[in-house]
Amino acid sequence: MAVATQGASSGINGQNTRTLLRVSILFLIAAAAVASRLFSVIRFESIIHEFDPWFNFRATKYLVANGFYKFWDWFDDRTWHPLGRVTGGTLYPGLMVTSGVIYHALRALTVPVDIRNICVLLAPAFSGLTAYAAYLLTNEMTTSSSAGLLAAAFMGITPGYISRSVAGSYDNEAIAIFLLVFTFYLWIKALKLGSMLWGALCALFYGYMVASWGGYAFITCILPLHAFVLIGMGRFSNRLYVSYTTWYALGTLASMQIPFVGFLPVKTSEHMPALGIFGFVQLVGFLQYVRSSMSAKQFKTFVITVIVGAVGIGLAGLVGLTSLGYIAPWSGRFYSLWDTGYAKIHIPIIASVSEHQPTAWPAFFFDLNMLIWLFPAGVYLCFQDLRDEHVFVVVYALFGSYFAGVMVRLMLTLTPIVCVAAAMAASQILDTYLSAKKPNVEEVADAGSTDAKPVKTSGLRVASKPAVGIFTFVSKALVVGGMAVYLLLFVSHCTWVTSNAYSSPSVVLASRMPDGSQHIIDDYREAYQWLRQNTKEDAKIMSWWDYGYQIGGMADRPTLVDNNTWNNTHIATVGKAMSSSEEVSYPIMRQHEVDYVLVVFGGLLGYSGDDINKFLWMVRIAEGIWPEEVKERNFFTSRGEYRVDAEATDTMKNSLMYKMSYYNYHSLFPAGQTVDRVRGSRLPDQGPVLNTIEEAYTTENWIIRIYKVKDLDNVGRDLFSAASFDRGQKKKSSKKKGPRVLRVD
Amino acid sequence: MAPKKNARESANAAPAVAAPALAEPAPVVKPAPTKPKASEASTPWDKVLINLYNHYIDETPQRTKLLDVFLVFLAAVGALQFLYCILAGNYPFNAFLSGFGATVGQFVLTISLRIQTTEANKSEFPQVSPERSFADFIVCSLILHFFCINFIN
């Protein structure tokens, strides 16, 4: 593919041929982008991945089955039992509506297609469009014809974007990145032409973006920032006024149409920069008018009084309204962007999600490979003729890099600009070294002399381009050859990363048998299928929130908590039930009408993403609400170790999670050889005893274990004595367990 | 908008035209010019304002003045709504937002139209003819009011 794009820049004459070539290359790039995302479908099957996509899939099915208006008013009583969730008003509907429209359109064309396949293939399809959007955006930045194609190719296959858009990862980002890039393209276009229509288009796509992804705040902040930087550079123009005000006025109203966003654009601090710049642009525009009809001195005092007055009033208003509570201050998620330690202290539920962690530096290289070192070069090239759109690249690059460094998942927002900038740098190199013409000696001398006088006033002087050509064939061949090798390496790296790191559905696990053949571990679906077939339609399943969406999507059973995490207290309740002893947990489960408890246990297989490893987060979140009853310290040994073997603390051993994970586990092994393969520790021969719940199902590889919560004893005993009676113990031994008491540590 | 006849009339117009009309709108802008007047209240400021006024009366084409009247009307309606919101509370907040948004949006769109049809700004908008800008204005207004009506509840 890289070779194909190089071909475009090498001289082929005729406008038509070039256009044809360009179109076919773009199609090839789109095809490559789609194809490289299909690893998971080919290797496993057409299946929805991970966690959040399962909710989106379920919502899409609901939309397709019940129509748009019912979807809009959807109150879901099968999640967050017993609270329920106003799903229609608390989701970003863009993704579901998009697939719903595609579904109905295909049906209207009598293409019999399953909604699941649309959902699975939506992300790859949109990645082709993203590549095209990157092409358009880059073409606005530079005149080089190859840069856009290179950007499209980079965008199509860079792992930073593939990570969120492989087939089956049916998440908001699947369409949001396309919308992000396309909105930026429209913004640049609007700014360049000063056209209301392009501004309105930008606002419409911004509205679509708002409907699709919470990351729209990125656009809401970058565009005003760009406008502000331009004004600060003394580049206010009527074009800026027209495009910015059109975008803001229409875009804000468009964003308010989404019930989940609603009044936020006028009520939260994240949106205030856009509003402030809107006012500021009005002010500057007004001053621009007044300017010519006044003498310079009058104008100066006029400007100072007006600006100081307006900015003062605006700031005072903002502070006043915030302190009066009309405008919400920055939200916790936003604070954690500035202070990476903030979430860990104040909102454990945000910190507990691995994609909210700060980025490790190898991740940049892993996700962007050679683009990451071409990126600064591209940004530098933008300084050469610093037009308005180049300022945008610089601003975006700065902020994108910062945010990508703070949070792993924001790598996604950095990727487009990296592709654009890197493509500019790469095409600059290729254009310079690929031209077959030998430069004329006189021309070069001429260029040297013109270079001395400052031709470009807008760009930085140091960055102005010396117009000297390359003479020898050897250096041309060397540089072009080197570049080609890098491009090929990039392609192979992208393919390798995509195939190895980003194509696992995580619902189905793959492992290698000793003979090298693939072995599929399908415990998740086994367990969910069991739930679907063997439990009542309204049996409530309690599990940690990670699995809520999957249970809802695959098993179709009500859950207590899910990945929406809108109610921290409810999650903490589940955390408390999991981390307390049975005496405490049982009443909690009864109160929430829990029928089954589901835990994920990887000890047998060495699957490290299991509940015991997540257990400390449950404890922390529960401790945030009940600091008296759940204490993280009690789960560590006196030497501060987190252990699960015989040395584990009593609190740990008595916790429901520990008991459920290791119940009966020792029976798999000969005496004295019980081993937990994840934590690499040897477990005691005597396993935990369960009194209030009973094992209902355990999957083939023990990854998922399901327990049934016992009903009250029908002779009126408490469950502990009933259980010990069943075990044939004397009543006396369990006598001390009378009324429910808290653990005594 | 701003057809050729007017365009020819105002061919020599100075770049900056509207001032007093623009001094009214947008609650942010409004207090600022009056404040220095109150603080200094000396001759230079009076002169400045009179200058501005005369400049405006002399140099603005008729059609642009028409637009300015519309702008003043929008600003007045917006200010009224804002005043109502402050005095009587913002209870149907949807209605207030869409009403206020409609006036503000229409205001900036009209200003954009005004900018694009002003002869002096021609160089900045090489690709936008007056007809094109009027069409843009219509389309954007339609979108704007569609959103407002959808949001008003």
- Residue B143: domain span: 60-153
Instruction: Give the pLDDT confidence score for residue A431 in this predicted structure.
Output: 85
Nearest-CB residue to B128 (from A195, A294, A306): A195
Q: What is the DSSP string of A369-382?
A: TTHHHHHHHHHHHH
Instruction: Give the pLDDT confidence score for residue B116 in this predicted structure.
Output: 87
Nearest-CB residue to B18 (from A241, A282, A289): A289
Output DSSP code: residue A360.
P
Nearest-CB residue to A242 (from B44, B51, B115): B115
The SS3 of residue A542 is strand
Q: How far is CA A459 from CA A229, A233, A305, A666, A670, in A?
A: 15, 12, 32, 72, 76
Are the Cβ atoms of B112 and A242 closer than 8 angstroms? Answer: yes
Structure tokens at A377: 């070069």
For residues A677 and A179, the model is more confident at: A179
pLDDT, tens digit (0-9, with 9 covering 90-100), for B62-90: 888 888 899 999 999 999 998 988 888 77
Q: Which domains does chain A have, with CATH numbers?
A: 172-330 (no CATH), 521-725 (3.40.50.12610)
**Which H or E element spans position A475?**
helix A473-500
Asked whether the bond before A82 is cis by omega within 30 degrees of 0, the reply is yes
Distance from CA of B104 to the nearest CA of A (A): 7
Interface probe for B, chosen from A191, A239, A280, A286 (most Cβ of B below 10 Å), is A286
**A208 within 8 A of A179, measured Cβ to Cβ:** yes
Are the Cβ atoms of B111 and A250 closer than 8 angstroms? Answer: no
Examine the pLDDT at A438 and tell me if it is beyond 70.
no
For residues A506 and A427, the model is more confident at: A427
Are the Cβ atoms of B108 and A289 closer than 8 angstroms? Answer: no
Residue in chain B nearest A266 by alpha carbon: B97
Distance from CA of B140 to the nearest CA of A (A): 6
Nearest-CB residue to A298 (from B17, B32, B48): B48
d(CA A416, CA A435) in angstroms, rounded, equals: 28
Q: Taking CB atoms and an 8 Å cutoff, what residues of chain B touch A298?
A: 44, 48
Q: How far is CA B17 from CA A165, B59, B64, B73, B120, in A?
A: 52, 7, 9, 18, 9
d(CA A106, CA A79) in angstroms, rounded, equals: 31
pLDDT interval class at B35 (50, 70, 90): very low
Examine the pLDDT at A450 and tell me if it is beyond 80.
no
Are the Cβ atoms of A286 and B136 closer than 8 angstroms? Answer: no
Maximum C-alpha span of chain A? 108
Residue in chain B nearest A251 by alpha carbon: B144
Q: What is the DSSP string of A29-40?
A: HHHHHHHTT-HH
Are the Cβ atoms of A196 and B137 closer than 8 angstroms? Answer: yes
Q: What is the mean pLDDT of residues B38-49?
A: 59
pTM: 0.84
d(CA A595, CA A557) in angstroms, rounded, equals: 11
Q: What is the mean pLDDT of residues B129-145?
A: 90
Evaluate whether residue B44 is within a structural domain: no
Q: What is the mean pLDDT of residues A570-579?
A: 88
Q: Taking CB atoms and an 8 Å cutoff, what residues of chain B touch A203?
A: 143
pLDDT, tens digit (0-9, with 9 covering 90-100), for A323-359: 777 776 666 666 666 666 666 666 666 666 777 777 8
Examine the pLDDT at A201 and tell me if it is beyond 90.
yes
Examine the pLDDT at A396 and tell me if it is beyond 60.
yes
Are the Cβ atoms of A305 and B32 closer than 8 angstroms? Answer: yes
Are the Cβ atoms of B143 and A263 closer than 8 angstroms? Answer: no
Nearest-CB residue to A292 (from B14, B36, B48): B14
Instruction: Give the pLDDT confidence score for residue A710 in this predicted structure.
Output: 85
Find the helix packing angle between A411-434 and A473-500, rounded to 10°: 160
Find the helix packing angle between A196-212 and A238-255, rounded to 10°: 30
Instruction: Give the pLDDT confidence score for residue A349 in this predicted structure.
Output: 66
pLDDT, tens digit (0-9, with 9 covering 90-100), for B109-130: 999 998 888 877 778 788 778 8
pLDDT interval class at A739 (50, 70, 90): low
Kindly report which listed range (A77-81, A292-296, A431-435, B22-26) carries the lowest average pLDDT score. B22-26
Instruction: Give the pLDDT confidence score for residue A322 in this predicted structure.
Output: 75
Evaluate whether residue B15 is within a structural domain: no
**A153 within 8 A of A488, measured Cβ to Cβ:** no
d(CA A49, CA B71) in angstroms, rounded, equals: 54
Q: What is the mean pLDDT of residues A273-301?
A: 79
Say which residue the tokens 């997540």 belong to. Answer: A614
Instruction: Give the pLDDT confidence score for residue A60 in this predicted structure.
Output: 92
Interface probe for A, chosen from B141, B142, B147 (most Cβ of A below 10 Å), is B147
Instruction: Give the pLDDT confidence score for residue A127 in this predicted structure.
Output: 93
CA atoms within 13 A on the CB side of A463: 14
Nearest-CB residue to B112 (from A196, A283, A298): A196
Selection from A381-390, A669-678, B29-38, B87-96 with the highest mean pLDDT = A381-390
Q: Taking CB atoms and an 8 Å cutoff, what residues of chain B touch A294?
A: 48, 51-52
Instruction: Give the pLDDT confidence score for residue B4 in this predicted structure.
Output: 40
Instruction: Give the pLDDT confidence score for residue A740 in this predicted structure.
Output: 60
Evaluate whether residue B123 is within a structural domain: yes
Q: Taking CB atoms and an 8 Å cutoff, what residues of chain A touch B52?
A: 290, 293-294
For residues A293 and A520, the model is more confident at: A520
Q: Taking CB atoms and an 8 Å cutoff, what residues of chain A touch B28?
A: 279, 282-283, 310, 313-314
Q: What is the mean pLDDT of residues A212-231?
A: 91
Please report, rounded to a whole number, the percentage of residues in chain A having pLDDT higher than 70.
87
Instruction: Give the pLDDT confidence score for residue A606 in this predicted structure.
Output: 83
**B133 within 8 A of A196, measured Cβ to Cβ:** yes
Q: What is the mean pLDDT of residues A314-327?
A: 77
pLDDT interval class at A741 (50, 70, 90): low
d(CA B102, CA A228) in angstroms, rounded, equals: 24
Q: Structural domain tally of chain B?
A: 1
Among candidates A660, A549, A665, A648, which has minimal Cα distance to A598?
A660
Q: How far is CA A517 from CA A511, A513, A520, A524, B10, in A?
A: 8, 5, 10, 21, 82
Evaluate whether residue B20 is within a structural domain: no
Among candidates A674, A701, A702, A679, which has minimal Cα distance to A511?
A701
Instruction: Give the pLDDT confidence score for residue A332 in this predicted structure.
Output: 64
For residues A30 and A712, the model is more confident at: A30
Main-chain phi, psi angles of B8, to 5 degrees: -70, -40
Are the Cβ atoms of B108 and A249 closer than 8 angstroms? Answer: yes
d(CA A217, CA A360) in angstroms, rounded, equals: 24
Instruction: Give the pLDDT confidence score for residue A11 in this predicted structure.
Output: 47
Provide CB contacts within 8 A for A429, sequence distance 6+.
Answer: A479, A483
Instruction: Give the pLDDT confidence score for residue A454 in this predicted structure.
Output: 43
Evaluate whether residue B40 is within a structural domain: no
Residue in chain A nearest B22 by alpha carbon: A286
Q: What is the mean pLDDT of residues A635-648?
A: 84
Evaluate whether residue B19 is within a structural domain: no
Count CB pairs under 8 A between chains A and B.
144
Are the Cβ atoms of A194 and B97 closer than 8 angstroms? Answer: no
| Phi-psi sector, A533: left (phi>0), alpha (psi -120 to 50), beta | alpha
Q: Taking CB atoms and an 8 Å cutoff, what residues of chain B touch A189?
A: none
Instruction: Give the pLDDT confidence score for residue A292 in this predicted structure.
Output: 63
Are the Cβ atoms of B16 and A309 closer than 8 angstroms? Answer: no
pLDDT, tens digit (0-9, with 9 covering 90-100), for B85-105: 888 877 788 888 889 999 999
Instruction: Give the pLDDT confidence score for residue A229 in this predicted structure.
Output: 93
Nearest-CB residue to A196 (from B29, B136, B147): B136
Residue in chain A nearest B20 by alpha carbon: A290
For residues A448 and B55, the model is more confident at: B55
Are the Cβ atoms of B140 and A254 closer than 8 angstroms? Answer: no
Q: Which residues pair with A512 in a beta bridge?
A: A518
Q: What is the mean pLDDT of residues A101-121?
A: 91
Confirm whether the ipTM is greater than 0.85: no
Kindly report which listed range (A307-321, A364-378, A410-424) carries the lowest average pLDDT score. A307-321
Kindly report which listed range (A458-462, A563-567, A708-712) carries the lowest average pLDDT score. A458-462
Distance from CA of B79 to the nearest CA of A (A): 15
Evaluate whether residue B47 is within a structural domain: no
Q: Taking CB atoms and an 8 Å cutoff, what residues of chain B touch A301?
A: 36
Distance from CA of B5 to the nearest CA of A (A): 23
**Which H or E element spans position A336?**
helix A332-338
pLDDT, tens digit (0-9, with 9 covering 90-100), for A457-483: 444 555 445 556 667 788 888 888 999
Q: Taking CB atoms and an 8 Å cutoff, what residues of chain A touch B18?
A: 289
**Which H or E element spans position A446?**
helix A441-452
For residues A442 and A404, the model is more confident at: A404
d(CA A316, CA A7) in angstroms, rounded, equals: 58
Instruction: Give the pLDDT confidence score for residue A420 in this predicted structure.
Output: 92
Interface probe for B, chosen from A253, A294, A297, A313 (most Cβ of B below 10 Å), is A253
Are the Cβ atoms of B140 and A314 closer than 8 angstroms? Answer: no
Evaluate whether residue B71 is within a structural domain: yes
Residue-averaged pLDDT of chain A = 83
Examine the pLDDT at A170 and tell me if it is beyond 50.
yes
**Which H or E element spans position A676?**
strand A675-676
Instruction: Give the pLDDT confidence score for residue A424 in this predicted structure.
Output: 92
**A541 within 8 A of A555, measured Cβ to Cβ:** yes
Residue in chain A nearest B137 by alpha carbon: A196
Find the helix packing angle between A173-193 and A388-406, rounded to 10°: 150
Examine the pLDDT at B17 and tell me if it is beyond 60.
no
Q: What is the mean pLDDT of residues A48-65?
A: 90
